[in-house]
Homo-oligomer: A and B are copies of this chain.
Amino acid sequence: MDMSPFEQSESSVRGYCRAYPTVFASASNARQTAEDGTSYIDFFAGAGVLNFGHNNPRMKDAMIAFLQADGVAHSLDTYTTTKRDFIEKFRDVILRPRGMDYRMQFMGPTGTNAVEASLKLARLATGRREIVAFSHGFHGMTLGSLAATANEAFRQWAGVPLTDVVRLPFETAPGGDTAIAEYRAALLDPSSGLTPPAAFLVEALQAEGGVNIATAGWLHQIQDLAREVGALFIIDDIQAGCGRTGDYFSFDGMGLEPDIINLAKGLGGFGTPIAMNLNKPSVDDHWSPGAHTGTFRGQGLSFVAGTVALDYFTDDVLMSEVRAKGAVLRDRLEQIAAAHPDQGWTVRGRGMMQALDTGDGAFAKRVQQAAFEAGLLIGPCGTGGQVIKLIPPLTIPDDDLTQGLDILDKAVATALGVA
């Protein structure tokens, strides 16, 4: 396998390729195959994009048919039949059954653009500047989103002050349980030095941040405070949404009504780019036509595959599988943790995002390496990469799931030096 073109001509910013030093040639469902024929079980799924597997057959067929029929692949924000299909199906399958009334906004097809658009809208709608974001939150790499992202490993490269964000601890961080109440007290005190924000931006389940899970109660505290002080309540569901947790939204069933919901990653189904915000109509009305543009807003292939992906949510088949496979993941991680009680590892997650917090980034990296060498792709997350996050495609066959977990088990042992 010739990696020299990358080493010579690709930017030194490249990252994942250093953890997975091979050249991938093809991929199918939960497996990627390298140019040398090695097959890897994929517990990373493109950082949470490939919920429905690599080269999902139904999506692939639809995309090929679309191409053959000369569908409109690129449309900016003009109307196309494929976008209409997507909008109607998303409305019928996702929104209406939940009694949700939202407008769909498409922007530059990356999660960070979705977040940027939502912050812009929140500031327009309120006439305020500051966004409340939380420790361990991840929201993207462009300047507006990066200001909301908490991890210093990303923030340190901004090159300019990251401003207009107020930082509170996430529920699971020290002080997180009382932070909302104390922040509320400060907002009600005209001598606190703080004024009401434009919005609260939060992940109900922090993925990159280390698989940290907020309770419904805490999220309601935020929503209530947002309502009380005239701020918007934004949930970034980019990584945890689209079925990952066993429901379409990670916050399904909590009775929440965010003003804006950010979606991307899994939304296009196939791994082609798309991003979308769901805006409450009263909030969305603050937009003027063309106020937030972007060249690649209208992606025919993503609409086509994304429309097929919505079929998974017309019944409970996939979601019940997610709950079942999630339990398998969870059980196995708890067994691993229990097998090494002196390590103080903890297991947490929801649905098919399950994680082993090893408390040691160097160790987790060794696990990642051992797993890779044995044919399993995993991606550490959290502070210093200490959390081993498992997010296989939701469609992973049981055999691959089991085999992947076996590899992980051994990789942990290898990394501990006990294998």
Contact = CB atoms under 8 A, between A and B. Distances in A.
Interface of A: 2-3, 5-6, 9-18, 20-28, 32, 35, 46-50, 54-55, 60, 63-64, 67-81, 83-84, 87-88, 91, 102-113, 116-117, 119-120, 122-124, 129, 133-137, 140-145, 147, 149-155, 157-161, 163-165, 167, 169, 173-175, 178-179, 181-182, 185-186, 189-195, 198, 209-210, 264-265, 270-273, 277, 279, 284-285, 287-296, 299-301, 382-384
B182 A169 contact: yes
Contacts of A165: 193
B27 A70 contact: yes
B72 A25 contact: yes
Contacts of A265: 295
Nearest to A194: B167
Nearest to A162: B193
Number of copies: 4
Given A175-B182, A273-B296, A273-B299, 19 more contacts: A10-B105, A13-B291, A16-B76, A16-B77, A16-B78, A21-B79, A23-B80, A50-B74, A108-B113, A110-B113, A112-B142, A123-B159, A129-B159, A153-B290, A167-B192, A173-B185, A190-B384, A191-B210, A265-B295
A112 B376 CA distance: 34
Contacts of A35: 81
A150 B193 contact: yes
Nearest to A73: B271
Contacts of A77: 14-17
Given A6-B79, A182-B175, A12 B289 contact: yes
A133 B273 contact: no
A111 B83 CA distance: 22
A287 B12 contact: yes
Contacts of A273: 109, 272-273, 296, 299
A88 B21 CA distance: 18
Given A35-B81, A109-B273, A192-B169, A47 B72 contact: no
Contacts of A158: 120, 123
Contacts of A20: 78-79
